[in-house]
Structures are given as structure tokens and as C-alpha cells.
Structure 1
Amino acid sequence: MKIDGIEILGITCNSKKVREGYVFVAIEGENKDGNDYIDEAIDRGAVLIYTEKDVKNKKVPVKKVEHARKKLSELLNEFYDFPSEKMRLIGVTGTNGKTTTTHLIYKIFKKAGYKTGLIGTIGTKIDEEYIPPTLTTPEPEVLFDILNNMLEQGIEVVVMEVSSHGLKFCRTSGLKFDIAVHTNIEKDHMNLHHTFDDYIKTKKKLFDNLENNKIAVLNVDDEYAVKLVQDNTRPLILTYGLNNKATVTASSLEIGNTISFTVCLQRGLTTIRSNTVEPLEFKAILHLLGKHNIYNALAAISVALIFEIDIDVIIQALKEFKGVHRRLEKIYEGKYLVIDDFCHNPSSYEAVFESIQGMEYNKLILVNAIRGNRGTEINKDNAKVLSTWFSILGVNKLILTLSNDVVKDKDEVKEDEFLAYRDELKNNNIEFQVYNTLKEAIKAALNIVRENDIIMLLGAQGMDQGREILYNEIVQ
């Protein structure tokens, strides 16, 4: 790759990674300003600098750009020779359901014989190879390297989670998505977006970038779905949901320890190859908990139909799907049951509580990690949902934890966040115990659990190590 006749050997926004022949993109971050490291980058061998600021009198050319983050992604895309244009790329965005939906799509496509890649919250899969996670949507230098690696290994289809952080910080700029999937939109990440309107507009960017005749798959039951394609006539639109207006819907729902339903394609749909799939029906079975997983399955089925995947393959893939790490996951089944879930916002708590409502148990013990560094509003709202369901579920014990033994500084619970959570529970006369560490909280639950009880481990980053601690305590 050459820029203005200069041979480019690499691109980075981290001055420590600069080598001879690299481009350095100076990005002003929350804690550090890349512009302060331009001289270091040049000393390390940078041959070209991009920045949003007026920088002069340097030993190498400096180009001023309007948006450095976007420029970084665009440069990396060109450096790796536009990898997304040589594969089919499916992006899944939404507040909840991204991880399960992407894994369902991955499972179906693998079953159909496609060499498939997956990028998301709990890691990357290059066909069968697993790479541990960094971010839900990785930083551009990682993301484009992964896509290039996938291309070199013959991957045909990539499905990836596209987070609001990823869109806000332009990590996916330059990527060409064939399909953009919307799961749902609820208030979340207000510490980043500040307003709900900005959150929706950020999610909308994924759909705004769809080119002519690419496909937007929308959950029609979500009131905000239409906003994602507002003033955008380029993509074809396919809707799914339990609403009878949806193109792909479900009937005859049976929800228990497994889920079964009849998938109904109510009208013909246009495929990725511009063919038509005529209306049809088939029965699907999922070994998952919760009504919300019907939505995740319908989204995945919609994508599979767009790719003309055989119905029998879809049915078998759904039946074989074993679920996703920390998504209503049964992590211990003995005399009692332990379920683990990555609850992080009000709607995810609602989905979990609704899912276990029909389960049989003696006592229900909740161990909940308060969400750190996400603001008071989200914690108050989470506590409000918990308070509403407390008596409905007949919760016998509520144990809260700050998880100070396991969380990093960026996920540490601030005092005002804890007080917001605590006060909401107190206002609703909910009794609880609080432990500073996750280990203490889990030990407290294990000390009182008895036969036929359920322990639920709930929370985001503060509960990520809950399973490991639980297993260690059980062994002891």
C-alpha cells in the first residue's frame, strides 16, 4: 500500500506499536491524547501522521483529518485490501440478544457447510479455532487483522456483534455488510451516549451504511425498529417477531425447559442471490430457556432463509444448539440448580425473571453483582425491575455484591451507584445482604442452599468469574 508515493508497512494509533514504515493516527482519547505521542511515533519510524489538530514542523508529512477514528478504520480497511468485500458479512446490533443471535447464525451456517467466522462478546471463532475476546466489537487494528486472517483461511461468511461503542467510535467504518440485524433497543450505555436519542442514532449507523439491495432484518415488535431505517430507501427490509404483521413469525409457542414453536414465513422473501423463498411453515425446537430466545431464533432463521439454507438444516442446527456462555446458562445441576446470566440492563433482567417464572423450585436465591461505572440511572432501573419481580418469583434470599475482588477499575461500583441500587430496594421494602467480594456473596448462597433450590448468579462484568468461584467453593 502506498500513500502519496510513500510505502506503508503498517498502521496504528498506539505509538508503542509503531515500526519503520508505519502510519501513526493520533487519536484524542478519554485519558490520553495521541497527539502528545507524535514525536515518539516518528522516532520509532512513522513515515506519515494523521491528526485532527493543526500539527506542523515535523520530520514527516502530517495530514489533518476531520475524524481520526474513522480515518484509522478506513486506512486499515485499505491496507488489508478491503476484506469484507470478499466475504459475506452479517452484522447484529441491539441492546440484548446479540451474542445468542450471532451464535445461532454461526451454528446454522456451520451446519449448512459454510466456512464461518464469528466475532463478538465472548470471543472470535475462525471456523473451529477460538480466540479469546477483547471487546464486543474489537478495536480497528484487531478487527481488520481478524478479518484478514479469516479471509486467508478461506472463511466465506462472517457474523459479528456490532455494539454501540463500536459504531460510536467508528470501529466498523469501511466494512460492507450484506445483512444488518436488529434485535431490540432499550436504554443502555447512557454513560457513553448521554441521551437515548443518541443511542438510537448510533445504532442506526449500521443500517445507514447498507448499500442498495443489501438487507435489513428488523424485530417488528420493537417500537424503535422503524427508526433504524428512517429516510433510508437503499436496503431491502425483512421483518420478524411475534406480531402477525412480521414476515417471519412464530405460532404454537410452548415454553418450558425447552422451547418449541412453528416458524411461519407469511409472505415471499428475496434472498441474497435475488431469488424468492415462498411462504412456508416448519416446527422448531430449542434447548434453551425463555421467550426472548424465540426472538433470537427468529432473527437467525430469517438470516438463514435469506441465504436459502435448507429447512432441515435449520431445524437440526437449532435442535443441537447448546446455548451461550452466561446466557441463562445452567452451570451446576445436582441436588440444587445454579443458573448464570449476564444481566446488565432492565430488559435483560425482565427476560431472565420471566424465563424462570414457570420453573419449579423450593427456594430461590439471587446473587446479584451491581453494575459498576455505568451510572446511577441504570442501577436504579435494574433494582426497580428486581423489586417488581421479588414477590412474583417468591425470592427467599437476595445477596448483593460489589465484586471488589474481581472487577477492574473501569468496572468498579461507585458509591453513588450502590446507594441508588440500595435505596430503590429499601423504598420497596426488599430485604438484602451486601458483600464487598463476589467470593463472600457466593459462599453465603452456598451456605443456605438446599435440595431443589435454585441459585441465580446475575450481573455483567462483576459476575464474570462467578462460575469459577462457585466451582472452587463446591469442591472445597
Structure 2
Amino acid sequence: MAEGAPATPSNRLHVLPNSTLNNSASLSALLAAVPVRSQHGPADAAVTSLTLDSRLAGPGAVFFALRGTATDGHQFISKALEQGVAVVVVEDLPAELHPGTTYVQVPDSAEAMARMAAEFYGHPSRQLQLVGVTGTNGKTTCATMLHKLFRELGYHCGLLSTVQNQIDEEVIPSTHTTPDAIRLNELLARMLQAGCTHVFMEVSSHAVVQHRITGLHFAGGIFTNLTHDHLDYHGTFDAYLKAKKGFFDQLPKSAFALTNQDDKRGPVMLQNVAGRRETYSLRNAATFRGRLIENAVHGLHLEVDGREVQFRLIGVFNAYNLLAIYGAAVLLGEEPTEVLTVLSGLTSAPGRFEPVVSPKNRITGIVDYAHTPDALENVLQTIADIRQPSQQVIAVVGCGGNRDGAKRPVMARLAVQLSDRAVLTSDNPRFEDPNDILAQMQAGVPTENQGKVLTIADRREAIKTAVALAQPGDIVLVAGKGHETYQEIKGVKTDFDDKQVLTEMFGLLGK
């Protein structure tokens, strides 16, 4: 299908065959776009698989020795050799070279892996309308709803998101916001083989820095917003900003770059971009202009480019998401009125302002992934906008372990200031002591708000307590985990679903 072309009968949904990928390539072909410092061993090995896991290496495989934050893949070269690996890609050559194995020394193993993976799978992104969404908040909602929208418009579509990956309706579990470059290209190849024309994916800042998206061809990029997050990894806010900007800097001339004009970092994303520069806004002049008419419990009433539309999503932050989705669809060649008609009937991604209502006491539970100060403030402000004067808001909030600690006191302060009662609890403590995390959160609670706060390390008990505190008609927000169905403690993941626990606690009311 031509780039930007609307759907026609020839590319509408049809029955697809089941098939598998069988790839092989010569080493010389895979290295064509890779800067090579030196090469040792057989010059043109036959390659049948790629891996960054030495346990999965074998005859015909290329093993990539990647330097990570916790481990260095160079330590596992000997294990890969024991597995009979054909080629090893390294940044530093080992002291002894194994006879019969080809060693390729490169400046950056991650970049080499991405470029070789794209070549190995036949550059599937070049044959797809691939749209990436980046920003602190809104990535999952935008990518998921674009996938839903284009499915409704009649296209075969792929989705790569934090919640799950999808090929049309086939669900593939997701372990990262953006998969590693090998897995990513494999999924794109599967999507192409299944007849997909469009793919919508979240692009994390980690993915940009770690070269997971290097070598991909994007039809467009969307920027949602930028707030405090991931400083545990990037170190500084400027480095975080630079990582996001790095995605837009990679966009080709044929792509569109769509940015939030109302976010002060939005215009930064468009600086020196090769592609078409487009904007969306609720407050300023922009390519795609929206006006908020009403934000109510039943949804948003917006004027979008002169058309009044009622949407099922709630909150000003979702008004921005809807504008981004609409703008991207129009830039991909879809008819504006049809886009708005379909979009008005769609719901958001799982765990994004997802309501759960108690049938007995009319208590409304809201499950949301808000795990940054900005996201938590947005959700609580949205609840404040739609609540009735008689309704009290009880917020259950936690912060993850082994992550940026600077946001912990900020999130606790927001929780107590924007709700009637706050229950501070665990999120995914990982390898940190939950009580240490809670102490850091508690430090952010102003003295005058101390009486509004309870601290309960056990998340199930925290949700149970919040529900017990609620009166008929009140609102209970459970923030931080959203779609996640596990809790990670001391390296062990156990089943834990906020929505399920909330529903269970509602079922106990009145018993």
C-alpha cells in the first residue's frame, strides 16, 4: 500500500494463512551497514539465528556480547562457544580466539545487533506504516487506541506496547515497553507476513539509548509530554530529554513528526527534524486544534478541528491523547470525519483510568498506571474535575523499588494534597526494603497533612483499608501498577492484579 493511502477494498481485512519465519543470511550481507573495526576467522559464515543470550546460542548463530547496566555479555562468550556459536560480535576481543569461530569487533555491539537484525529479517519496517509514540505519559493509550482505531477502519495492524504485543487479535506477552532489536524485528516480520499494513509501537527512552530502534524505518513519530521519570537510568533530566529527542532525530524525511505544542519540550522535539513537522494543541495554534467543552464522568466533549465530538475517555490528559491519535491517523491518510466517528466509540488501554464499581455501595474504584508525579497529578486532578461535592477521594499510592527515588516524596505529597485520604503502600519493591521506600514517601507529606495519611506496606491490605474507609458513592484510586498482574518482591514475581483485588474487596462489602 502506498504511504499515507487510505483503506480500499483491496487492503481491507481478509483471511490470513498461518506460517512461520525461516531466515538465513550470509555474514557479509548482515555486516553491510555495520561499522567493523576488525574481523577474525571464516570470512563468510552462514547465519541462521541471532541471539544476545548465550544459552540460546548454537551452530549457525550470531552471539552479541552486549554491555548492560547489570551484566556484561562479554563474560558469556565462552558459554556461547560451548554451544557451538558460529559468529561472536564483540566490542573487546577476548585474549584467545576460538578456531572455526568468526569474531567481529565493532564500536557498539547493541547498534551492530540492531542493524544486523533489521537486515536478517528483511527490513520489515520498510514495508509497514510504522508509527512510534514516545513521552513520559500517554504512550500506551495512544499506541493501543491507534491499533484499535485502524482495526476498526479495516486494516490488519500490529501493536507493540507495555501491556501486550498484538498481531491483529493475536496477543503476544510483553516483557518490555520496547523489545530488544532482535525480538522487535522478528515481531515486525511476523506482522508483515500476517498481512499487517500498520504497526503502532511505544518507544521508550531506554530503547533509543540502547539502539533497540536503530535501523527501523518509521512512517511517523508522536511526542506526548515529558516529565520527571527514569532518572535512575538516565542520571539527569537533560539526558532523559536527549533520549526522547534521539527518536525524532532518527525519523526519515518521508515521516511525520507530531508533537504536543502545549508541552514546553514539544517544540524541542521538532528542532532539526528531517520529516514533516506537525503539532496538536488545546491552547495554541497547531496543525490539529482541540477545544475542551466538557470533562465529565461520562466522557469528554471536545471540538476537534471545528467538529464537536463526544468521547468515552475522561480527563484533560486524555484530550491530548485523543488529539495525538486523531492527528496521526489523518497524517497517515485517513478521512478526518471517519476517524472521529470511530474514535468516539473507543475505550482506553487496560489499567488506564479503568473504572470498577461496587454494586452494593456505589463506590467507584479507578485503577491507573500512574507511577510518575505528573501522571498521578493528572489522574487526581481529573477525579477532582468530575467528582460530586459529597464524594470523598481515597488514593492508594506506591512507588517502585530500584527506580528513581527522587519522585517518591513528590508523589506522596501530591497524593495527600489532592485527595481526602491517602494510603501509602508498596508497588513493586523489587530488591529494596518496602519500609525504606515508604519512609522516603512519608518524608514528602506536609506536617498539616499527616492526619490524612495511612502507611501500609502490604498492598492488598492497603487496598482493603481504602475500600473500608470509603462511604457509599466515594471514589477509591489505586495507582501505580495499572495493567500489571504481578508484584515483584526480592526478585520473585507473584500474582497481583489491582483490578482483581479491588473487585474482590468490593465483593466483601456488607458481609
The TM-score with structure 2 as length reference comes to: 0.84
1:447 aligned partner = 468
Structure 1 residue 399 corresponds to structure 2 residue 387: no
- State the shift of 1:291 in Å: 0.7
- State the shift of 1:475 in Å: 4.0
Which aligned pairs between 1:57-136 and structure 2 lie closer than 5 A?
A: 57-59=96-98, 60-136=101-177
Q: Kindly provide the CA deviation profile for residues 333-383 of structure 1, in whole angstroms up to 9, marking residues without a partner as x.
A: 422111111111111011111111131253322211233222321112212
1:9 aligned partner = 48
SS in structure 1 opposite 2:212? coil
Name the CA shift for 1:313/1:413 in 2 (closer, same or farther; >3 Å): farther
Structure 1 CA distance for aligned equivalents of residues 150 and 44 of structure 2: 42
Structure 1 residue 458 corresponds to structure 2 residue 483: no
SS in structure 2 opposite 1:430? helix
- The amino acid across from 2:368 in the alignment is D
Name the CA shift for 1:313/1:111 in 2 (closer, same or farther; >3 Å): farther
Structure 1 residue 425 corresponds to structure 2 residue 445: yes
- State the shift of 1:16 in Å: 0.3
2:502 aligned partner = 470
Name the CA shift for 1:168/1:428 in 2 (closer, same or farther; >3 Å): farther
Note the residue ranges of structure 2 that are not aligned, 5 or more in a row.
Answer: 1-24, 28-42, 488-495
Conservation of the 8 A alpha-carbon contact between 2:149 and 2:343: yes
The TM-score with structure 1 as length reference comes to: 0.90
Conservation of the 8 A alpha-carbon contact between 2:326 and 2:339: yes
Name the CA shift for 1:428/1:311 in 2 (closer, same or farther; >3 Å): same
The partner residue of 2:198 within 151, 157, 173 is 157
Structure 1 residue 173 corresponds to structure 2 residue 214: yes
Structure 1 CA distance for aligned equivalents of residues 147 and 366 of structure 2: 24
Conservation of the 8 A alpha-carbon contact between 2:358 and 2:507: no
Structure 1 residue 308 corresponds to structure 2 residue 329: no
- The amino acid across from 2:464 in the alignment is K
- State the shift of 1:421 in Å: 1.1
Structure 1 residue 384 corresponds to structure 2 residue 413: yes
Conservation of the 8 A alpha-carbon contact between 1:89 and 1:157: yes
SS in structure 2 opposite 1:429? helix
Name the CA shift for 1:389/1:38 in 2 (closer, same or farther; >3 Å): same
Structure 1 CA distance for aligned equivalents of residues 457 and 412 of structure 2: 18
Structure 2 CA distance for aligned equivalents of residues 245 and 138 of structure 1: 36
Which aligned pairs between 1:70-469 and structure 2 lie closer than 5 A?
A: 70-232=111-273, 234-251=274-291, 253-257=293-297, 258-264=299-305, 281-334=306-359, 335-358=362-385, 359-360=387-388, 361-390=390-419, 395=420, 397-403=421-427, 407=428, 409=430, 412=432, 416-431=436-451, 432-460=453-481, 465-469=497-501
- State the shift of 1:39 in Å: 1.4
Conservation of the 8 A alpha-carbon contact between 1:285 and 1:315: no
SS in structure 1 opposite 2:70? coil
- State the shift of 1:181 in Å: 0.5
Structure 2 CA distance for aligned equivalents of residues 85 and 413 of structure 1: 46
- State the shift of 1:141 in Å: 2.6
Conservation of the 8 A alpha-carbon contact between 1:373 and 1:414: no
- State the shift of 1:64 in Å: 1.2
Conservation of the 8 A alpha-carbon contact between 2:400 and 2:429: no
Structure 1 CA distance for aligned equivalents of residues 107 and 371 of structure 2: 34
Q: How many residues align?
A: 450
Report the identity percentage: 29
SS in structure 1 opposite 2:84? coil
Conservation of the 8 A alpha-carbon contact between 2:223 and 2:259: yes
Conservation of the 8 A alpha-carbon contact between 1:339 and 1:455: yes
1:55 aligned partner = 94
- The amino acid across from 1:145 in the alignment is E
Structure 1 CA distance for aligned equivalents of residues 119 and 476 of structure 2: 50
Structure 1 CA distance for aligned equivalents of residues 177 and 433 of structure 2: 21
2:30 aligned partner = none
Please, which moves more after superposition, 28-37 or 46-55? 28-37
Structure 1 residue 19 corresponds to structure 2 residue 52: no
Q: Kindly provide the CA deviation profile for residues 156-204 of structure 1, in whole angstroms up to 9, marking residues without a partner as x.
A: 0000000111112111111111101000111210000111110011001
Conservation of the 8 A alpha-carbon contact between 2:231 and 2:237: yes
SS in structure 2 opposite 1:425? coil
Please, which moves more after superposition, 95-104 or 445-454? 445-454
Structure 2 CA distance for aligned equivalents of residues 402 and 205 of structure 1: 33
Conservation of the 8 A alpha-carbon contact between 1:216 and 1:235: yes
- State the shift of 1:426 in Å: 4.4
Name the CA shift for 1:454/1:135 in 2 (closer, same or farther; >3 Å): same
Name the CA shift for 1:413/1:101 in 2 (closer, same or farther; >3 Å): farther
- State the shift of 1:301 in Å: 0.6
Structure 2 CA distance for aligned equivalents of residues 255 and 296 of structure 1: 14
- State the shift of 1:413 in Å: 5.4
SS in structure 2 opposite 1:357? helix
CA RMSD for the aligned pairs? Answer: 1.9
Conservation of the 8 A alpha-carbon contact between 2:261 and 2:284: no
Structure 2 CA distance for aligned equivalents of residues 255 and 241 of structure 1: 16
